[in-house]
Structure 1
Amino acid sequence: MGHRREHLLRRLQSAWRISPPFLLAAGFIMLILAGTALLKLPFSTNTPIAWSEALFTATSAVTVTGLVVTDTGATFTTWGEIIILLLMQAGGLGLMTFAVVALLSLGGRIKGRRYLVASSPYVTTHPRDVFRTAREVVKLALVIEGLALIPLALVWVPEHGWAKGLWWSLFHTVSAFNNAGFTLSSDSLMSYVGNPVINTVIPALYLIGGLGFIVIVGILDYRFNRALDINVKVVLSGTLVLSLVGTALIYVLESNNPATLAAIPALSDQLWASWLQATTPRTAGFNSLDIGSLTQPTCLVLMLLMFVGAGANGTGSGIKVATLFVLLAATWTYLRQRNQPVLFSQAIDTTTLLKALAVTVMAILGIFLGTLALSITENADLLTVAFEATSALGTVGLTRGLTTELSGEGQLVIMVMMFVGRVCPLTVAYLVGSAFASSRDSMKEELQIG
């Protein structure tokens, strides 16, 4: 048994040397194909669905996007919903694990937790470290999801009964932590627009999941006599600023809209709705307001938030919060005619800046190409197709109503964008990091981009 285990570890180590991004893409493709086959089985659906619908749902679940062409709660049986839950969990935690292991394999360091391996430059990460890291990522995720399950059950068990209420709580817990945005209600969270528990627990889950494993570990290991890691500072500060500014903007822009906030009588409910709608573009995809009824300025704000996304090494996508702040720091440095960008008193090195530029340029190009393709295949206005393209590439899951009306070609475009948006940012960051691994020794700290 020991010999077989060592043989398997050696084979996995050889595979990791081939190309981690290739392994990530191949793993996601295998999950999508397996999920498609399982969702097409008779016991998975209440009524038969087309292969294209099964493929779209599986792709959306594995990439933890949340865009759907069918009503999840009405279309799928409990078995089908279980399959979707497993696909969301595997997709979200799989990418989080890959992000951590890729950082380690490039010589990155994670302070604090002794169970994580701090690789040195030019050292290939051993498969044992992969398993060990994956185990710790899963353990942390299960603990967080288990804690969140209790308050959600206090809402849904009285409403749906024990069995259905607990299932709803579990499904939405996994969906939220993995930033998936799948719900079992046809109107997402619009029925709970003023519910303080739903509007606290669900955002807490997708914000924590979006922070990333390394940031979460940094917070858990924080001591008052020690400064926070630069990446933790940037992600926490960026998340707070984007959430609060987004909430204020949405409240101001929608307060007089009779189709959204103006239709909600209580001020507290309006603030809850503004809060959830400002934080969910961090790639979560839940909504408590009708997205199709939002004003154009609000849609532009949401598109910017979707473009930025969550933190590195987390369950969310987008160009990442750290990327945005690195670019802002570089821009501010240029305007001041300085030579070295600085963020939180930490100099930003060339590798980090190149990662930020590469991820951002590719995201902009991807959104443009996706918008162009949807403009050709779909009969919809430019704002709607641009919003859909941004949501798909950022694996967010918000839609102005176009998803369920997509043509066959449009569904293919969205599926490609969801897959690329999930895999590409970290792949680009890994490739840039690999190319500049020789300069790693000079870095004491590094922001994790992608």
Structure 2
Amino acid sequence: MALLIRIGDALTASHQRMMHSWPISPPLLLIAGFLILILVGTALLKLPLSVDAPISWREALFTATSAVTVTGLVVVDTGPTFSVWGEAVILVLMQAGGLGLMTFAVMALLSLGGRIRGQNHLVASGYYNETHPRDVLRTAKVVVKLALVIEGVALVPLALVWVPEHGWMQGLWWSLFHTVSAFNNAGFTLSPDSLMAYTGHPVINTVIPALYLIGGFGFIVIMGILDYRPSRQLDINVKVVLFGTLVLSLMGGAMIYMLESDNPATLATLPSLSDQLWASWLQATTPRTAGFNTLDISAMTQPTSLVLMLLMFIGAGANGTGSGIKVATLFVLLSATWTYIRRRREPTLFSHTIDTTTLLKALAVTVMAVLGTFMGTLALSITEDADLLTVAFEATSALGTVGLTQGLTSELSGWGQMIVMMMMFVGRVCPLTVAYLVGSAFASSRDSTKTELHIG
């Protein structure tokens, strides 16, 4: 971990020395990179050796977009449709999309004057808005190394489950594919029913959620956890993400259990209480933009669907592989609301004052997410023959890059597929882009005495 910290310091120094040699705007870098990945992925998935059953160009484009934006919505079943080569293409697209966003988040942080230090906090350096390609490559190496270590550790227990079931080659491939899919919050699986065959399996319901929760924490939070020492406090960003994740997971799991325990199409069909609790746990955590399911989403009650939509809208932690408005954004808005109710002047979280820039980021990201969800729901309600809740659920899932569906994705019209693809792309790049633009506009006037939470 000391090596990672030194690399972070070196990145900042390198950024200050070479920022004028080839300036690249991080948002443009992110958008261009994602577009290139999608187009290349589409071409590769359309090759005859990538499929076992023919697919159209639009289906290839939809699959590539879903993989790069790590959403998990599919118009064709991944396992039965694609060959091993095609599945490998999807795996690479998921890894590149998830780690690409995490790399961008760190680079945006550095370009706004942030620095990763041993004390797990960020210090303004005074240089803004430009990023050198060498910085991007070095940052990407650190992010990739950390991700590969986490994925490598998780691969072992999954292999102990799937190798006995499928044999060595297929079992290891299943383990690798689902490890990458989970860590990057992609939600792609090689089974048409996602993880429903493992509803009560302790290993699957532990390792898979651990992967997408850790991936959703983000690079800065993971470093903060690994670098924690009893002699100093955790960084405010680490506290908010961990506390928010715990609260949302426990409350979401309890609500799903209470709302679905009598539903004969979901929890009531499971043979034991432990199976019901495992299913409630996974379904409460997977809307954090992971997209896996062990219950039939289309059979859930309307109240449960609304709970899942709220969790999908919130999403994961900032700087991670997940999307949504992010946990920190939610708690910043809740803190501001509580401050207003109490007639106080400045909102605080864990005794830290929240600065104006963070509040503006939270408001901007949330307002745009609300408008995007509304516009997507409106558009799909025009093009698709489905009830409003199903359409709204699909729009929320697409914009949050979650991947959960009540069955509408496979029945989308051509226009509907285009709308969902656009929502997946916007939902992936927009939150961090907005946070970066707001942060860059106010970076020079940032009050260093107030805590800035990572938003977007």
TM-score (structure 2 length as normaliser): 0.94
- Alpha-carbon distance between aligned partners in 2 of 1:131 and 1:117, rounded to the nearest angstrom: 21
Kindly provide the amino acid, as one letter, of the partner of residue 256 in structure 1: D
Q: Do structure 1's residue 296 and structure 2's residue 306 form an aligned pair?
A: no
2:168 is the counterpart of 1:162: yes
Which residue in 1 is equivalent to 2:126? 121
3-state SS of paired residue (1:365): helix
Q: Which residue number corresponds to residue 403 of structure 2? A: 397
Q: In the TM superposition, what whole-angstrom CA distance separates every residue of 1:307-354 from its partner, at most 9, and x where no partner exists?
A: 000000000000000000000000000001111001110101110000
Deviations 1:242-272 (A, max 9, x none): 0000000000000000000000010000000
Structure 2 counterpart of 1:280, from 277, 282, 286? 286
Aligned residue number for residue 248 of structure 2: 242
Give, in angstroms, the shift of residue 106 of structure 1: 0.3
Structure 1 residues 113 and 90, CA gap change in structure 2 (3 angstroms): farther
Equivalent pairs, count: 440
**Preserved CA contact (<8 Å) 1:104 1:118:** no
Structure 2 counterpart SS, 1:311? coil
- Does residue 52 of structure 2 align to residue 46 of structure 1? yes
2:438 alignment partner in structure 1: 432
- Structure 2 residue 29 is the aligned partner of structure 1 residue 23: yes
8 Å contact kept, 1:107–1:440: no
Partner of 1:4: none
Tell me which residue corresponds to 2:194. Answer: 188
Q: Which runs of 5 or more residues in structure 1 are unaligned?
A: 1-8
CA distance in structure 2 between the partners assigned to 1:390 and 1:343 by the alignment: 28
Aligned to 1:3: none
Task: Report the 3-state secondary structure (helix = DSSP H, G, I; strand = E; otherwise coil) of the residue aligned with 1:67.
Answer: coil
1:174 matched to 2:180: yes
Partner of 1:254: 260
In 1, are the aligned partners of 2:353 and 2:451 still within 8 Å (CA)? no
- Residues 287, 404 of structure 2: 8 Å contact kept: yes
Following the alignment from structure 1 to structure 2, what is the Cα–Cα distance between the partners of residues 129 and 118?
Answer: 18
The equivalent of 1:371 in structure 2 is 377
Superposition CA RMSD, Å: 1.8
- Structure 2 residue 72 is the aligned partner of structure 1 residue 78: no
Q: CA deviation at 1:445?
A: 3.5
Are residues 14 and 369 of structure 1, via their aligned partners in 2, closer, same or farther at CA, if it must alter by over 3 Å? farther
Q: 2: distance between equivalents of 1:416 and 1:15? A: 34
Look up the SS of the partner of 1:399 in the other structure: coil
**What is the one-letter code of the residue matched to 1:35?**
G
Give yes or no for the alignment of 1:329 onto 2:335. yes
State whether residues 309 and 394 of structure 1, in contact with CA within 8 Å, keep that contact through their aligned partners in structure 2: yes
Q: CA–CA distance in 2 between the matches of 1:13 and 1:36?
A: 34
Which residue in 2 is equivalent to 1:134? Answer: 140
What displacement does 1:22 show?
1.3
Paired residue for 1:145? 151
Amino acid at match of 1:95: L
> 1:362 corresponds to which residue?
368
Cα distance in 1 for partners of 2:24, 2:187 equals 33
SS at match of 1:157: helix
Inter-partner Cα distance in structure 2 for 1:40 and 1:119: 47
CA distance in 2, matches of 1:390, 1:289: 19
Q: Kindly state the Cα deviation for residue 36 of structure 1 after the two structures are TM-superposed.
A: 0.2
CA shift for structure 1 position 117: 10
Note the alpha carbon deviations across 1:156-209, whole angstroms, 9 max, x for none: 000000000000000000000000000000100000000000000000000000
1:422 matched residue in structure 2: 428
Distance of aligned partners of 1:421 and 1:233 in 2 relative to their CA distance in 1, 3 Å threshold: same
**Conserved? CA contact 2:288–2:311, under 8 Å:** yes
How far apart, in 2, do the equivalents of 1:15 and 1:195 lie? 54
Alignment partner for residue 95 of structure 1, among 71, 95, 101? 101
Cα contact 1:203–1:280 (8 A) shared by 2: yes
1:32 partner SS = helix
Provide the C-alpha distance between the structure 1 equivalents of 2:438 and 2:116, rounded to a whole number of angstroms. 20
Asked whether the 8 Å contact 1:104–1:119 carries over to 2, the reply is no
- Counterpart of 2:306, as a letter, is L
- TM-score, normalised on structure 1? 0.95
Compared CA separation, residues 117 and 130, structure 1 to 2 (3 A) = farther
Structure 2: distance between partners of 1:13 and 1:51: 40
CA gap of 1:405–1:37, structure 2 versus 1, over 3 A, is same
CA distance in 1, matches of 2:455, 2:37: 25
> In percent, how many aligned pairs have the same letter?
80
Residue in structure 1 matched with residue 448 of structure 2 by the alignment: 442
TM-superposed CA distance for 1:427, in Å, is 0.3
**Are 1:388 and 1:400, in contact at CA under 8 Å, matched by a contact in 2?**
yes
The alignment partner of 1:196 has SS state of: coil
Contact 2:355 2:451 in 1 (8 A): no
Alpha-carbon distance in 1 for matches of 2:192, 2:314: 27
Q: CA deviation at 1:119?
A: 6.5
2 CA distance for matches of 1:174 and 1:361? 31
Shift of 1:129: 2.7
Q: State yes or no: 1:64 paired with 2:75.
A: no
Residue number among 227, 232, 235 corresponding to 1:229 in the alignment: 235
**Equivalent residues of 1:122, 1:437 under 8 A apart:** no
SS at structure 2 position matched to 1:17: coil
SS in 1 for 2:23: helix
Q: Distance in 2 between matches of 1:358 and 1:93?
A: 24
The one-letter code sitting in structure 1 at the alignment partner of 2:329 is: T
